[in-house]
Amino acid sequence: MSTPIIVGNWKMNGLNADSVDRVKQIIAGLTAEPVSGVEVVVCPPFTHLSLVHQTLNGSTVALGAQDCHKNDKGAHTGDIAPSMLRDVGTSHVILGHSERRRDHGEVDETVREKAVSAAQAGLTPIVCIGETEDQRQSGQTEDTLGWQIKGSLPDGFTGIVAYEPVWAIGTGLAATPDDIRTTVAFIRAELVRQFGDAGKSLRILYGGSVDAGNAASILSLPDVAGALVGGASLKPDAFLSIIRAVPTA
- For residue 43, list its beta bridge partners: 9
- What size, in residues, is the chain? 249
Considering the candidates 69, 97, 99, 131, report the single residue annotated as catalytic.
97
Considering the candidates 39, 131, 164, 190, report the single residue annotated as catalytic.
164
DSSP letters for 164-221: --GGGTTTS-PPPHHHHHHHHHHHHHHHHHHHGGGGGT-EEEEESS--TTTHHHHHTS
| Cβ atoms 234, 18 nearer than 8 A | no
| Cβ atoms 119, 159 nearer than 8 A | yes
Question: Which helix (H) or strand (E) segment is 43 a member of?
Answer: strand 39-43
**Does the active-site annotation cover 97?**
yes
Instruction: Count Cβ atoms below 10 Å from residue 74 Cβ, excluding itself.
Output: 8
Annotated binding site: 9-11, 170, 209, 230-231
Left if phi > 0, otherwise alpha if psi is -120 to 50, otherwise beta: which for 5? Answer: beta
Annotated binding site for substrate: 9-11, 170, 209, 230-231
Q: Could you give the residue numbers annotated as active site?
A: 97, 164
